Every structure is written in C-alpha cells, then in structure tokens.
Amino acid sequence: MRRFLLGIIFLFSVIPSIAQETVADDSTSVKKKSYIRMLHTDVTRFDEKINPDAWILVGDVRFRRDSMYMFCDSAHYFQKKNAFQAFGNVRMEQGDTLFLYGDYLDYNGDTNLARVRRNVKLIDKNTVLETDSLDYDRNANLGYFFDYGILSDEESVLSSFYGEYNISSKTALFTDDVSLENPQFRMLSDTLYYNTGNKIATIVGPTNIYTRDSEVYSERGRYNTSSRHAFLLDRSVLYNDMKNVVADSIFYDSAQGYSEAFGNIVYNDTVNRNMLTGEYAYINEIVDSAYVTDRAVVVDYSQKDSLFMHSDTIWAVSYNQETDSLYHLVKAYHKVRAWGPTMQAVCDSMVFDSRDTCVTMYKDPILWNENVQLLGEVVKIYMDSTSIDWVNVINQTLYAEEMDSVNYNQIKGQEMKFFFKEGKLSEMQVIGSVEIVFYPLDEDSTYVGMNTTMAGSAVAYLKEGQVDKVIVPKQSKGVFYPMSQRPADKRFLDNFVWFDYVRPTSKEDIFNWRGKNAGEVLKVIKREKVPLPTLDRFKKE
C-alpha cells in the first residue's frame, strides 16, 4: 500500500512540470525552462537509504525532453533538479536520424547536458562516433569525448584522444594523435577538422598524408577525401619517388596523379641531384614529368660546382618507366642562360637526353670555359658520371681564346670536337675548311709572333687552358708574322666576335637576357639533303 501511495504522489508531482513549460502574459510569450517528462516505467519506488532525493524507476523506463526521447533499464529521477541518471541499455533518440547509446547516462534538463559513459555510440545518419566517455551538449548540438574516440562514415575512419562532433554542421574537430584513414590514404595530424557532409578534411597543424605513391606534409590546407584533391598552403611539401616539391601553394590530385604548384617553387630530384625552381609548375607523377615556367631555373648539384640554368620554360619527362629502357629528357626554351663557376652558356633552346647523356644547344649557342669561347650552329655537350666528357660544335664554328685584352687565339672550321680532362679543355679536333690565328709563346710566356694557317683539318693540344701546340697536315698553308709586323686584317678571323657582353656573370645574372648585337647573329644556312643514287637498270623504259 505504501508503494502504491508513493506512486500516486509521484505521478501528481510530475503533472505540474508538464503543464508549466510555457506561460503567457498580455503582450508576449515567455519561454520557461523545459522539464524532463517521465513517460513510462514498470516499477516506481522511493528509498531514502539509496538516494533520498530520487525516485527509483525500474523496467522499460522512458523520458522525454522536447524532441529528445530517452530509454533505459532503470533510472534515478531527480524531479526537483530536473535531472536523472540512467542505467543499462541507455538510448537517446531524436527524429529518425540521431541515436546515442551507452551503458550509463547522467542528464541535466536545465543545462541540457548529457554525459554518456561506457560503450558509447553516437549515430548521425551515416556517421558513427564510438568512445567510452561522451558529453553531449544539446544546446550547441555538440558531442565531445576526451578518452579516445573513433568517427566513421561511408568512406573514412577518424580517430584521436580528444574530439568534438557538431551534429548541425556535420563537422568534427579532432586533436591529439589524430588519424584519418580510408583504403586510398592515411592522414596523421595533431589537429584536424573533418566534415562528414562534404568529406573535406581541413588541415590546421602539422599533418602528413600518405597515399600509395606519394606523401604530403602540410600545416594548412584542405583535402577532399572523396575526390582526393588537396589544396595546400604555407610551403607545404609533396613527396613522390625520391622527388619532392615545395611551394607557397599546391593543388594536388592524388587520384589522377598530378599537381600544380604556385609561388617560389622548388622541385628537387634527390636521385639525380638536380632541382627545378620557378613561379609555376605542373607535375605529373604518372608519367614522371614536370613543367616549370615564370623565372624557371634548373640547378644541377651533382658535380662539385653547381650549374644554374634559366629559360622561359623548362620541361622534364621520363619515358619507358616500367622497362629497362628508362630514359629522361629535359627541354629548356627560350632565352637559355646558364652559369657555373667554370662554365657558362647561352642559346635559344636546349635539350638533355639521358640515353647518350648529351646536352644539345640550339640557335646561336655559345659556351664559355674560363677564358675560352666556343660557338657554332649547334653545340652538343656529352657528360660522363662526374663532369663534361667532350663537346661537339657543328657548322659555323669558332674557338676563341682570350690571351689578353687585344690578342686572341682563334680557330674556325665546319666541325669541332673538344675533349676535357678534370673539367678543363685538353684537346680539340677541327674538321673541314680550317682557319687558324695562333700566338705561340716562349718559355717566359712571351709572344713569339702570330701564325695564320689554312688547312683541311687540325688537332690542337691545350695546357693550363691555353692552346699549347697545333698540328696540321703538311700540305697546309701558313704564314708566320713577328708581333711588330702583324697585318691588321689578319689578326681576326672573319667570323670572330668576343661575346663577353652576352656571358652570364653570376647565378643571379642568368635572369638578365642579353642577346647578340645586330649583325653578329649566325647566318641561317639552308642545307639540302644529298639525293640517294639510283640505278638506271631498274627504271622502266
């Protein structure tokens, strides 16, 4: 009978809480605090020994506050405090999209804060948050955990030691040992925002993204986990196959395997020990190619002395990557200027082919090695593993060696071959229509005189960067002039120009294009192919 009376008293005591949710005056409606409503229980009792301030509810317990329904096996209901504690099979439901499960719930109707513990699972449509301790602020529609949690949607799994999930904006903020993973990538960070609606992860701290073929490091940016598009800022770094690119900003499509970089770009190949720099780059990791423009520079640091080369555009690509015939092409165009401590060059365009380790310079090429200037229609530079091996100059060739401010050793011909030893010219071979102006020296490095020669071919040997000896066929024609009797019209070959005003003077000077003066550009000579011989007996009569 006592339990029955307590139950009647309990029911009558909750009726006012149901009726007093709002009150109106003559002018406006004032919203009062919302009370917890007890909808059902199998058993109601009161036990001062257990808790003098609580009604004890047992069996199929149901509560409601506004649009939220709450269920449990048993509960302690604190009517005066507008709160309750729920035990066993705790479930909160709001509409048909939001569900919250756990073993224990402490809910305060005044603050609208739910504390759920042990085996906690929050389900928001296709998003599931699992943890052992979750506080859910219904006013802010925000759930947050502080003892490790896992958030998963249709594509990805996000985990960390502390995190928040905003049900209204579908945005999660995870901090402290953050991991975001799906079959296509893995992202590790100390702080990360993730939107389960648009699948975009926002990077706000040190973050690494690992895919099958690449790695990204960024401290600010966005990554769309569905499209696998990354927008990276603040000098982010993209790594791929021993190459890396850093720039002010990078767009990276990891699905299609390409990236675009903007502002102060450095693309570094650590295997071949060279790098590309510029203001814009397009990089395709599938075909292993890079296109750089706007103050484009390639830096080769594979040798003792680095070489810096600038042109309007630099393009590098690898071919036959999956075969034993892998090779690389690097193309630079236009207005090519290169500088190194001992070697400088200018031309309109340049190509490097790894198949023969040859650098080919086109259109008014000039090459300098210390006090020597080489030029022709085409210059081919063949490299060995450490330095220049030999150089081939083709058509309208000129070798000029500065002896002093007025005297130059000069050799011209149809073709020249130069051989290097320890980075310095050691031997040259000249073929076809050879003309020579040569100043031999005595033992005291004093001029003996001036020697002019015309020959079909010649071989010259160099010592300490100067022509030491010239060998020509016996039938060659030559004249020797004492220094005081040199004819003015014989001192320079007809194609001689000293292009010191064009020569790059430093790695900064490669950006300052200076073309040849009018009238000093090589003449364009059209050369027709010799027709193949035919046999008349095969012709029809």
Identify the three-state secondary structure at position 251.
strand
Picking from 423, 410, 425, 413, the residue whose alpha carbon sits closest to that of residue 457 is 413
- Quote the pLDDT of residue 5: 43
Beta strand 162-166 with 200-203 is unpaired
- Quote the pLDDT of residue 527: 61
Q: Tell me the C-alpha distance between 356 and 384, whole Å.
A: 10
Using one digit for the tens of pLDDT, what is the confidence trace for 29-38? Answer: 445 668 899 9
User: Among 119-128, 158-167, 195-204, 303-312, which stretch is predicted with the lowest mean pLDDT?
Assistant: 303-312
Identify the three-state secondary structure at position 40.
strand
- Checking if the pLDDT of 24 tops 70, the result is no
Q: What is the pTM of this model?
A: 0.80
CATH homologous superfamily, domain 354-541 = Lipopolysaccharide (LPS) transport protein A like domain (2.60.450.10)
DSSP annotation of 532 reads P
Burial class (CB in 10 A: 0-12, 13-18, 19+), 157: middle
Over residues 184-194, the mean pLDDT reads 95
Q: How confident is the model at residue 286 (pLDDT cuts 50, 70, 90)?
A: confident
- Quote the pLDDT of residue 531: 61
Residues 411, 394 contacting (CB under 8 angstroms): no
For residue 309 the two structure tokens come to 């080369």
- Sketch the domain layout of the chain as residue ranges: 1-18+36-101+115-122, 354-541
Over residues 262-272, the mean pLDDT reads 91
- Checking if the pLDDT of 22 tops 50, the result is no
- Torsion angle of the four alpha carbons 487, 491, 492, 493, in this order, in degrees rounded to the nearest 10: 70
